[in-house]
Chains A and B, each alone.
Chain A
Amino acid sequence: MVVNSRFFNRSELIGFIVLAAVLFVILPLSLDVFRLNLVAKYLTYAFVAIGLVLCWGYGGILSLGQGVFFGLGGYCMAMFLKLEASSVENTKIQSTPGIPDFMDWNQITSLPLFWQPFHSLSFTILAIILVPGLFALIIGTAMFKRRVGGTYFAIITQAVAAILTILIVGQQGYTGGINGMTDLRTLKGWDIRPDHAKVILYFVEVVLLFACIGIAQFIRLTKLGRILVAMREQEDRVRFSGYSVANFKIFAFCMAAIFAAIGGAMFALNVGFMSPSFVGIVPSIEMVIYTAVGGRMSIFGAVWGSILVNFAKTSLSESFPQLWLFGLGALFIAVVLAFPNGLSGIWADYVQPRIDRLFASRKPKSAAWTDDSVADGAPAE
């Protein structure tokens, strides 16, 4: 595969440096642990948003069911943590000690078979990647091989989100039902609840986030990324050129699912909690909104979108407990109407030209070729 000679062009490099500075230095220094933990929660959605940039922004596959993968990753992690929190001595008050509390409430007297492997952390980490990955592979194969796409695909992903929510809520003896899995305490004996643990988890998450950004950027720059864009613009031409469109779509969808699952697992660790309210249709659509607000063509934009929308959510709801939802709705409408390319569009249209002019005034304009002209082209749908 041919990788562009430079990993980041100039504007991306600025975006990278700004984001790294903010996440690694500015926020940890300026926020107290409580707010930092909130940022960690916002960033778990950034993983989903990066996945959506690949699969929706570049591949043109709109998935309204990313909550499914976020939830699967989160539940895998939560199952491991819950088992560790349900040691015999922590649960001696129950009729059957040693199993999670919600099982005891539902008259289950022994740990179900599919829970057993989650005693092992290495299995859990594998499961976080593989379970959502395989699930996406199955959905993707079933859909894309039959050339189901566009709106129909979006509707089906939404149905999957609804089905999984109903399944989790209905099987409360095995999943904790609508309450979810609460009271997660330790990871291999290391307490995840105190402040210093929250700070460590924050940095772990930011490092993982940058790893995902790196992978996404790599995919974008390879020939694979070009094929994704080509597919979005003219699917038939790509197919007639001899490429297997379905396989590329499946790949993009699986990557998005795996990113979302990593976000979900980090969510369970940071928040100490997992519930079906992250799996359903509404959270899945919200995740698409984060991407849209940030700019679906921009990896960094998606991260900013997740942070800013969630920050607005928190601060609006703290200030106006009864009216905040209206404010948030107005914000979405305003952004989408006025700036269809989201925050990154604002950056590219208003901020970037000024920076360019600044550089241009210092030295004669170089002939550096950027791929913006291709990547930021008008989306197909």
Chain B
Amino acid sequence: MSDETNKGLLSPLRRKLLMGMAAVPAITMLPRASFAQTPATSAVNTTGLAVTDTEVTVGILHSATGTMAISETGSIEAEKLAIEQINAMGGVLGRKIKFIQEDGASDWPTFAEKAKKLLVNDKVAAIMGCWTSASRKAVLPVMEQYNGMLYYPTFYEGLEQSKNVIYTGQEATQQILAGLNWIAKEKGAKSFFFIGSDYIWPRTSNKIARKHVENVLKGKVVGEEYYPLGNTQFNSVINKIKLTKPDVIFTDVVGGSNVAFYKQLKAAGIDLSKQALLTISVTEDEIDGIGGENIAGAYACMKYFQSLDNPNNKTFVPAFKKLWGEKTVIGDVTQAAYLGPWLWKLTVEKAGSFDVDKIAAASPGVEFKGAPEGYVRIHENHHLWSKTRVGRAKLDGQFELIYETADLVEPDPFPKGYQ
């Protein structure tokens, strides 16, 4: 820990030293040219980023403290693993990746402050970070003003697209529509009950889901309820569910509220092996807190499950556990966070430069064949083409893959007819 944490403190001094080093290229470049693999720093870094002949610095910006730490820790771990693996393979354009970690402290303005620090003070070449929509909204103006590059891992509500962000999670239509189609077809579902936490992501997701249910599936939404973040009393909504008897309970309750929600569902005698429940917010990480016995039988709709059976995932999961402990679980967002450093590396190599403008331009079309979720590709709109999958929660806290889309689903952050 102390190793990387000292960098933040020493950074201005270090940067001056590095600049000094960069100022004597005449000496260092000649012998380097004979090695031939490493392009000259002056050529790959024309905008004064923290890139030297041997190192490139990136930032990691998540909440290590506060209420979101429980969710964001997985992302931090995945990003560190990816960086370690990339360095073991020789780094990016012959330079090892060095990272500076900052704590957003579950506080949105702190995120903005730290993002600015990473860009202005440390001149990082890219930032892997943010989790909640609120933190991303806070950081976005900073990224645009100082022309940084953010790799954002969480599934989110869409309605956003920026030159300075690569969204490695799914946007709402990508995540939801395939799941709704599947459950309508498989279970003959006609009536849906929506329950969500009260902020922008569940509200937008439910708006999209409602339009799809009503206009495309010709079904009915029999109830839509929102609860404040951190709410632990769901008895009234559970009573409404018992009264309306929906075919499907569709939930996007986030964070700690999930624990109370599923326990109370079970206590109220709603058996998830008989009552279909589709969630877009519960990953393996959340089940860790909820307890497998409370949620077994529920369906989750996202792009990655730890149990996926493919060669990439079979090397990824053991590598993750080796670094972070046998008991850790890997959820959808953790996997998406793992994609960040890799996509950045591949884009830098495609662009042949660390310059943010060139990376932004080179991003569309970049493909990553080694993704644990399977092949992914960056779309023109800086989101990822990815498959959508439905899994069924098991007693041991893992998901069993039930369904996956045949093709990659196109990301559509501004869906027509759903706004």
Contact = CB atoms under 8 A, between A and B. Distances in A.
Interface residues of A, number: 40
A324 to B, nearest CB: 7
Contact of B107 (A169, A183, A277): A277
Contacts of A166: 228
A234 interface: no
A105 B110 CA distance: 24
Contact of B108 (A170, A179, A315, A321): A179
Contacts of A314: 113
B109 A320 contact: no
Contact of A275 (B1, B5, B134, B229): B134
Given A34-B120, A107-B207, A179-B199, A322 B103 contact: yes
Contacts of A321: 5, 64-65, 101-103
B9 A317 contact: no
A183 B199 CA distance: 18
A339 interface: no
A271 B64 contact: no
A169 B137 contact: no
Contact of B159 (A38, A105, A170, A272): A105
A319 B116 contact: no
A179 B102 contact: no
A226 interface: no
Given A166-B228, A277-B108, A322 B65 contact: yes
Contacts of B236: none
B228 A169 contact: yes
Interface in B2-46: 5-6, 8-9
A318 B105 contact: no
Contacts of B203: 105-106, 172
A318 B9 contact: yes
B239 to A, nearest CB: 22
A212 B203 CA distance: 43
A105 B198 CA distance: 13
Contact of A93 (B107, B117, B134, B414): B414
Contacts of B414: 93
Contacts of B102: 317-318, 321
Interface in A275-314: 275, 277-278, 314
Interface in B116-151: 116-117, 120-121, 133-134, 137-138, 140-141, 145
A277 B133 contact: no
A315 B5 CA distance: 11
B105 A317 contact: yes
A145 interface: no
A318 B105 CA distance: 11
B199 A172 contact: yes
Nearest to A41: B113
Most chain B CB atoms below 10 A, which of A105, A317, A318, A324: A318
Interface string A2-41: 0000000000000000000000000000001110011001
A319 B101 CA distance: 9
Nearest to A95: B419
Nearest to B141: A183
Interface in A145-203: 166, 169-170, 172, 177-180, 182-183, 185, 193
Contacts of A172: 198-200, 203
B112 interface: yes
Contacts of A33: 120
A273 interface: yes
A44 to B, nearest CB: 11
Contacts of A315: 9
Most chain A CB atoms below 10 A, which of B65, B133, B157: B65
Interface string B139-183: 011000100000000000101000000000000000000000000
B204 interface: yes
A314 B64 CA distance: 14
A102 interface: yes
Contacts of B6: 319
B228 A177 contact: no
Contacts of A102: 200
B147 to A, nearest CB: 13
Interface in A99-147: 102, 105-107
A34 B64 contact: no
A177 B110 CA distance: 17
Contacts of B9: 315, 318-319
18 contacts: A41-B113, A172-B199, A177-B198, A178-B200, A178-B229, A180-B137, A180-B138, A182-B137, A183-B141, A185-B141, A273-B108, A273-B109, A315-B9, A317-B114, A320-B5, A321-B5, A321-B103, A324-B65
